[in-house]
Amino acid sequence: MFPQFSDGTRLLVTGGAGFIGSHVVDVFLDAGAEVTVLDNMTTGDPARLDGRVAVHRVDVTDSAALDEAVRSVRPEVICHLAAQIDVRVSVADPAADARVNVLGTINVLEAARAVGARVVFASTGGALYGEGVPVPTPEDTLPAPGAPYGTAKYCAEQYIGLFNRLHATEHIVLRLGNVYGPRQSPAGEAGVIAIYCGLARDGEVPTVFGDGSQTRDYVYVGDVAAAFVAAVRHRAPGVWNIGTGRGSTVLEVLDHLAAVAGRDLSPRFAPRRPGEIQHSTLDVSRAAADLGWTASVPLEKGAAATYAWVLAGSPVR
């Protein structure tokens, strides 16, 4: 699948017990890396992890504990996925969101600097660019986020760019689309596919906010994990969108799930949610050209895999 990390590259994954982070851990383990996880377990679950993985239960806002953990692991690369990910929480308490997503990222950058590690940062494509931009949206579009979560991620990106200029580091930013797949919690607001899979299993009627024509760039979590590998292999700093380059409507998602579940999933419609953007799709040509990465799992296949996982009782591993 991937060229092997025959040298046993030491990798630290913050947020590695989370939905995406645990897949990133698995793909690097398979590729021969030596992987350690750092996570405060707010939404993470250590049961998602392979038994070979050492876990540091540390909060990224605790710079002393973070420094100590990073110095003990001495990673060559830190994949930084630990974050407050709930957009509604960020609106209700922007300072708390910024403490984790901005200050926590600065702490990670400083800890990485002490051991000379490169950082690959999980930013957002879906919550960054805002309304009125070209769709699909290329990386050089000026971001205009619609919520504190996107603003904090953009601010963290700015620190990464600054560190690259100031300290000649080679940190990388990956702007992820709407990630879905096994291990995603249906409680998170990003997890519309996870939510609809649960409703399809239970024979319940899904709710669609607005008319269902809003588009998102749904990217399968296995493809996202592969993008982290491609980014680590890339020996230069930069910013890359990670998505499929194809927008799918909410109604298309329901059609795919209705087909795999073999049930009618006609939704009930509710008023469009304030602040929700109508179209979000990422231009992914830069990732293809620079990283040699493209998404390989089409929505119908990824939705089927996710539904199969939900039917199997949503096993953590």
Q: Are strands 268-270 and 207-209 parallel, antiparallel or unpaired?
A: parallel
Tell me the one-letter amino acid at 230. Answer: A
Smallest gap from residue 151 Cβ to ligand NAD (A): 13
Least distance (Å) from ligand NAD to the CB of residue 280? 11
Q: 13 near 81, Cβ under 8 Å?
A: yes
Cβ nearer to ligand NAD, comparing 10 with 153: 153
Is residue 218 annotated as a catalytic residue, yes or no?
no
Query: Contacts with ligand NAD in 7-46 (CB under 6 A)?
Result: 15, 17-21, 39-44
| Nearest approach, Cβ of residue 80 and ligand NAD (Å) | 7
Distance CA 171, CA 78 (A): 9
Q: Which is nearer to ligand NAD, 126 or 143 (CB)?
A: 126
DSSP per position, 130-182: -SSS-SSBPTTSPP--SSHHHHHHHHHHHHHHHHHHHH----EEEEE-EEEST
- Site size for ligand NAD, by CB under 6 A? 29
What's the closest the beta carbon of residue 6 comes to ligand NAD, in angstroms?
28
**Candidate residues 33, 65, 100, 257; the one interacting with ligand NAD per rule CB under 6 A:** 100
Is 99 in contact with 117 (CB distance < 8 Å)? no
Catalytic residue among 129, 149, 180, 218: 149
Q: Is 60 in the site for ligand NAD (CB under 6 A)?
A: yes
Q: Does 81 bind ligand NAD (CB under 6 A)?
A: yes
In angstroms, what is the minimal distance from the CB of 224 to ligand NAD? 8
Q: Considering only residues 171-190, where is the footprint of ligand NAD by CB under 6 A?
A: 176, 178-179, 190
Residue 274, sorted as left (phi over 0), alpha (psi -120 to 50) or beta, turns out to be beta
* C-alpha torsion sign, points 4, 226, 40, 153: positive
**Positions in the binding site for ligand NAD (CB under 6 A):** 15, 17-21, 39-44, 59-61, 81-85, 100, 104, 122, 124, 126, 176, 178-179, 190
Catalytically active residues, by annotation: 149
